[in-house]
């Protein structure tokens, strides 16, 4: 789905702090904390919501670690002034960096600059970094695209939503474009901030080892062309950071750290996020942080951190591979070609996007659409989407008539799985549009105030067309060749 490329900075840098916090706190709430007086660390007994038994905590780093192995710190460069980090804060950050480096098995000789900002300065910097690559016009096109799939209203103000989310909860972040860490001044450096720092420093190690922007080709330009690949890489990055963060929590967090995090959780509020559309809540948190963690844990169980490192040399390329780690790396998406619809539609139309929907967004469409009465049970939606084998879609818009056209062609692994999706889609579409207008010969259509929806089951292929009227939908169907 095209929206992923527009939220690279958003999800990884700003909102990631809140997302990681929420999931980490849920994990902490599900474990027994044994506070011991003979050890500076809290011993955490993992449950199914945390680490599996194979994730044995690493030993503590000896206090006699040579100074050369600890990254030095002193003064940090503020974007507009120079600020000196308090010595005690610098020492704690040095210690966490050394601990994370040892846990993760990645080492770098380069000091990561630490920029100390006020809350207002940090919020403004993140806003500026994100909005320079995302305009209100692009946000409108994203809303048009998502509305075609029934996920948003076409006039939904995504731009304002992002601005509001940016300003809700920001503790700090690592900026891979500037190779710098940004830290909120005056917010303290207690258990929550220490855990967050372990997560964000993992991103710094990933970047300096694998070069996120160029080495992994994870940037706006590349992700505009292949959102599926970028969603998968994001899940790898965040899953890696979450597993490292969990190991840091198990190994080094003190009883006070744990109490600080629980105290923070007891008063934590996120009113903007809580009112965000259902599918975005899933997309912002569940996929990159929860599904990403499960993917990385699967690799870790197979071969430790070495197996995770190998994934950076051959990154996952689809959300399917993240959702089903056992299919990585052999199960590659099938290429699906779709026709250029501009010559068919005529003057006044423009292409908003052409991209891949993917298994994850297929699931979101069925289970977390805008119309709650059309939503399928998440388990049923997951089963219907699981046979995904590859797809391609295009969305076009007529600014003069305020009309939208969408074409999605999906290849499924087998005929049985395409039929399973077809049955689920009919249930979804009937909940959204009412009873079918036409049904027969593997072709079903619905008429509604939104327009005409046409769905065809064609062997192991399904075709979903949304158009202003039946004639246009049938014309589009006629442009598709037999598979």
What is the Cα gyration radius of the chain?
Answer: 24
Q: Has residue 337 been placed in a domain?
A: no
Q: Are residues 301 and 428 in the same domain?
A: no
Q: Are residues 305 and 346 in the same domain?
A: no
Q: What is the helix (H) or strand (E) element at residue 83, kind and residue range? A: strand 82-84
Q: Are residues 398 and 271 in the same domain?
A: no
Q: Are residues 282 and 390 in the same domain?
A: no
Q: Are residues 182 and 302 in the same domain?
A: yes
Residue that has been written with the tokens 């206090």 in this structure = 63
Question: How far from 74 is each of 37, 101, 110, 188, CA to CA, in Å?
Answer: 33, 20, 14, 18
Q: Are residues 368 and 320 in the same domain?
A: no
Helices (H), 368-454: 378-385, 415-433
Q: Are residues 284 and 371 in the same domain?
A: no
Helix (H, G, I), strand (E, B) or coil at 397: strand
Q: Has residue 59 been placed in a domain?
A: yes
Q: Are residues 95 and 182 in the same domain?
A: yes
Helix (H, G, I), strand (E, B) or coil at 482: coil
Number of domains in the chain: 2
Please report, in tens digits, the pLDDT of each residue of the chain (483 residues total): 644 433 333 333 333 444 444 444 444 543 333 233 223 332 222 222 222 222 222 222 222 222 222 223 333 333 443 457 888 999 999 999 999 999 999 998 788 998 888 878 877 877 787 777 788 999 999 999 999 999 999 999 999 998 888 777 667 788 888 888 888 776 678 998 899 899 999 999 999 999 999 999 998 889 988 999 999 999 999 999 999 999 999 999 999 999 999 998 898 888 999 999 999 999 999 999 999 999 999 999 999 999 999 999 999 999 999 999 999 999 999 999 999 999 999 999 999 999 999 999 999 999 999 999 999 999 999 999 999 999 999 999 999 999 999 999 999 999 999 999 999 999 999 999 999 999 998 999 999 999 999 999 999 999 999 999 999 999 999 999 877
Q: Has residue 115 been placed in a domain?
A: yes
């Amino acid at each position: 789905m095209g929206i992923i490329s527009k939220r690279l900075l958003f999800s990884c840098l700003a909102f990631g702090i809140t997302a990681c916090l929420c999931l980490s706190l849920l994990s902490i709430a599900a474990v027994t904390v044994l506070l011991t007086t003979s050890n500076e660390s809290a011993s955490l007994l993992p449950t199914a919501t945390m680490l599996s038994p194979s994730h044995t905590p690493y030993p503590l780093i000896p206090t006699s670690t040579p100074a050369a192995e600890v990254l030095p710190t002193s003064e940090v460069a503020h974007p507009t002034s120079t600020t000196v980090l308090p010595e005690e804060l610098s020492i704690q950050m040095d210690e966490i960096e050394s601990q994370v480096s040892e846990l993760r098995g990645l080492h770098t000789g380069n000091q990561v600059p630490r920029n100390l900002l006020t809350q207002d300065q940090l919020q403004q910097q993140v806003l500026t970094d994100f909005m320079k690559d995302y305009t209100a016009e692009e946000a409108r096109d994203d809303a048009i695209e998502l509305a075609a799939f029934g996920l948003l209203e076409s006039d939904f103000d995504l731009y304002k939503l992002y601005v509001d989310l940016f300003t809700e909860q920001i503790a700090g972040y690592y900026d891979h474009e500037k190779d710098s860490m940004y830290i909120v001044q005056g917010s303290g450096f207690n258990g929550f901030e220490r855990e967050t720092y372990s997560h964000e420093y993992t991103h710094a190690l990933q970047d300096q080892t694998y070069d996120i922007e160029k080495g992994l080709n994870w940037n706006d330009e590349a992700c505009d062309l292949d959102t599926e690949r970028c969603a998968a890489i994001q899940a790898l990055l965040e899953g890696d950071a979450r597993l490292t963060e969990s190991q840091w929590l198990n190994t080094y967090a003190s009883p006070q750290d744990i109490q600080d995090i629980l105290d923070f959780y007891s008063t934590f509020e996120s009113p903007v996020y809580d009112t965000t559309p259902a599918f975005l809540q899933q997309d912002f948190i569940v996929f990159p942080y929860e599904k990403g963690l499960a993917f990385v844990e699967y690799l870790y169980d197979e071969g430790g951190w070495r197996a995770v490192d190998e994934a950076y040399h051959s990154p996952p390329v689809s959300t399917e591979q993240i959702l089903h780690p056992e299919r990585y790396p052999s199960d590659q998406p099938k290429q699906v070609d779709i026709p250029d619809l501009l010559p068919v539609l005529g003057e006044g139309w423009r292409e908003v996007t052409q991209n891949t929907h993917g298994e994850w967004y297929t699931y979101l469409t069925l289970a977390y659409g805008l119309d709650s009465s059309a939503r399928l049970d998440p388990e049923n939606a997951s089963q219907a989407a699981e046979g995904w084998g590859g797809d391609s879609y295009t969305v076009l818009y007529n600014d003069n008539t305020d009309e939208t056209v969408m074409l999605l062609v999906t290849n499924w692994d087998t005929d049985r799985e395409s039929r399973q999706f077809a049955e689920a889609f009919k249930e979804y579409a009937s909940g959204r549009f009412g009873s079918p207008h036409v049904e027969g010969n593997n072709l079903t259509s619905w008429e509604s105030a939104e327009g005409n929806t046409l769905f065809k089951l064609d062997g192991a292929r399904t075709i979903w067309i949304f158009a202003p009227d039946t004639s246009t939908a049938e014309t589009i169907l006629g442009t598709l060749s037999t598979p």
